[in-house]
Amino acid sequence: MSCWDTIADYGLRSLGYGERLLPRSDFTLCQQVVLIGSGMLWNIYFGTLALIAGFVMATAVAMGKAARNPVIAKISAWFIFIFRGSPLFIQFFFAYFLFLSLKNAVPFFTVLTSAGAGALVVLFLNTAAYSGEIFYGALQSVPKGEAEAADAYGFGGWKKFRKITWPTMLRLAWPAYTNEAIFLFHATTLVFFSGFPAQSQRGDALYYANYFADKTFNPFVPYPILAGYFILLTLVIIGLFGLINRRLNRHLPQERRSRMQMRMPVLR
């Protein structure tokens, strides 16, 4: 079988298209590269949707934590504390068994027992908590002079938030938020590894890398392939977020624009 045949058979294997059975012997390098790359489609799916939905909720959580209403502020603070204080692995584990227990009482939870929906909810809530804390810190750092200038020009309420507060908050938070986005895509490898089962051997990149490592007793081929895919994905994220960062700082002189820097996450 040529490499092109392997791509045709296994290129979309993680989505249920192509060859139904995984190779069982005589594994080629092409098979490992193609199947692990096929699994990356799930990682991109989880990361992209969770990032988009989490961004919206993170803004709301940050505003809630900074609200004058003590009830809203406490709810937002506890939401951030719970999801930042517990490991993501445990969140996947408990969420799956919670959805599994509730599906008999409420049919809606049947959908959430699948990784495509249930794991996405966990990732969305987790990144909303982390991003919400980042946005809250940036919100507290918005210069008071800008708010006073907005008041002087007659801006108030939603218009003041949309024109002054929110753009400034994003500019301040964007470098740290970029690191959160990178970590989120890396964290998608925990979906099938922790609680949510893969159906019909259709999993993410780590699922297939682990499959080849178990079958060949040689982890030094599939895992570097997996790492290579995530390095490429990280470079894409840095590039896209860098373009957004330049857009956010387009009004500043070139020498004052903050440059995106990739920093290794030591603690999470």
CATH number, domain of 167, equals 1.10.3720.10
Q: Does the pLDDT of residue 132 top 50, yes or no?
A: yes
What values do phi and psi take at 202, rounded to 5? Answer: -110, 100
Q: What is the pLDDT of residue 41?
A: 97
Give the residue-averaged pLDDT of 124-151: 91
Q: Does the pLDDT of residue 164 top 90, yes or no?
A: no
In whole angstroms, give the CA distance from residue 46 to residue 42. 6
Residue 191 and residue 92 in contact, taking contact as beta carbons nearer than 8 Å:
yes
**pLDDT band per the 50, 70, 90 thresholds, residue 257:** low
Q: What is the pLDDT of residue 266?
A: 45
Residues in the chain, total? 268
- pTM equals 0.90
Asked if residue 261 belongs to a domain, the reply is no
Asked if residue 12 belongs to a domain, the reply is no
**HEC profile of the chain:** CCHHHHHHHHCCHHHCCCCCCCCCCCCCHHHHHHHHHHHHHHHHHHHHHHHHHHHHHHHHHHHHHCCCCHHHHHHHHHHHHHHHHCCHHHHHHHHHHHHHHHCCCCCHHHHHCCHHHHHHHHHHHHHHHHHHHHHHHHHHCCCHHHHHHHHHCCCCHHHHHHHHHHHHHHHHHHHHHHHHHHHHHHHHHHHHHHCCCCECCECCHHHHHHHHHHHHCCCCCHHHHHHHHHHHHHHHHHHHHHHHHHHHCCCCCHHHCCCCCCCCCCCC
Q: Identify the weakest region by mean pLDDT among 28-32, 83-87, 146-150.
A: 146-150
Q: Does the pLDDT of residue 134 top 60, yes or no?
A: yes
Q: How is residue 151 written in tokens? A: 């008041």
Evaluated on CA atoms 70, 71, 74, 75, the torsion sign reads negative
Q: What's the number of domains the chain is made of?
A: 1
Q: Does the pLDDT of residue 75 top 50, yes or no?
A: yes
Q: pLDDT tens digits, residue range 8-46?
A: 999 999 999 999 899 998 899 999 999 999 999 999 999
Nearest to 134, CA basis, from 189, 186, 200, 65: 65
Asked if residue 250 belongs to a domain, the reply is yes
Domain of 229, in residue numbers = 27-256
Asked if residue 166 belongs to a domain, the reply is yes
Asked if residue 9 belongs to a domain, the reply is no
Residue 226 and residue 206 in contact, taking contact as beta carbons nearer than 8 Å:
yes
Q: pLDDT tens digits, residue range 166-219?
A: 999 999 999 999 999 999 999 999 999 888 999 888 999 999 999 999 999 999
Q: How is residue 221 written in tokens? A: 């081929």
The strand pairing partners of 75, in sequence order, are none
Burial 177-186 (b: 16+ CB within 10 A, else e): bbbbbbbbbb
Q: Does the pLDDT of residue 135 top 50, yes or no?
A: yes
Asked if residue 131 belongs to a domain, the reply is yes
Q: How is residue 176 written in tokens? A: 């740290």
Asked if residue 6 belongs to a domain, the reply is no
Q: What is the pLDDT of residue 1?
A: 65
Q: Does the pLDDT of residue 112 top 60, yes or no?
A: yes
Give the residue-averaged pLDDT of 245-267: 65
Residue where the block lists tokens 């809203």 = 72
User: Could you count the other beta carbons within 10 Å of the beta carbon of residue 205?
Assistant: 28
Asked if residue 114 belongs to a domain, the reply is yes
**pLDDT band per the 50, 70, 90 thresholds, residue 50:** very high
